[in-house]
Amino acid sequence: MKAPRLHILLPVCGAMLLIAQPLAATPAKAQPPAATGPADTGPESGDPEARRKALNLEQARLARKWQETSTASRKAHDAAASRAKMQRLRDNAAYSAALAAHQKAEDQYRTDYAAWEKTAAACKRGDRKLCPSPKRK
């Protein structure tokens, strides 16, 4: 057998480690696999039927709790959606009313402006019947 090489450097966590490694590989010894599951402790103590009933009752309690939480969440969501819909309807109605008022004001302005243009044109022509007399203060 040859002497081990002593100059092999391996980086380990930012530091260098000097190890000796033999040239010939030595076979590793076989080890039994480690236990991966729970240790067998034997049968459960007590009545298995009573245990099953207790677990079923616990599961039913948890299911009822989840269902109550889910129902409350759904009701809160539905209420929020309903409030949002009502607010949207109110906003749309207010917007429509504002548009109608704006349109009415625009129509009145156009009517008044057209009347003013006729009066101004009559005044320019010198027509005293259509031209209003100046208001005196």
Number of domains, the chain: 1
Q: Is the entire prediction scored with pTM above 0.85?
A: no
In a domain, 117, yes or no: yes
Residue numbers of the domain that contains 107: 52-125
Q: What is the distance between the alpha carbons of residues 51 and 45, in angstroms, rounded to a whole number?
A: 10
In a domain, 116, yes or no: yes
Q: Mind listing the pLDDT tens digit for each residue in 21-68?
A: 555 555 556 666 665 655 556 566 788 999 999 999 999 999 999 999
Q: Mind listing the pLDDT tens digit for each residue in 81-97?
A: 999 999 999 999 999 99
In a domain, 107, yes or no: yes
| 132: Cα separation from own chain's centroid | 67
Which of residues 11 and 135 earns the better pLDDT score?
A: 135
In a domain, 24, yes or no: no
Closest C-alpha among 21, 18, 26 to residue 4: 21
Return the residue matching tokens 């203060």. Answer: 137
In a domain, 88, yes or no: yes
- Torsion sign, CA atoms 18, 20, 25, 26: negative
In a domain, 105, yes or no: yes
Tokens representing residue 88 in the block: 């949207």
In a domain, 106, yes or no: yes
In a domain, 119, yes or no: yes
Q: What is the mean pLDDT of the chain?
A: 80
pLDDT for 84: 97
Q: In sequence order, what DSSP letters do the residues of 32-63 get, joined into one string?
A: PPPP-S-----SPSS-HHHHHHHHHHHHHHHH
CB 6 within 8 A of CB 17: no
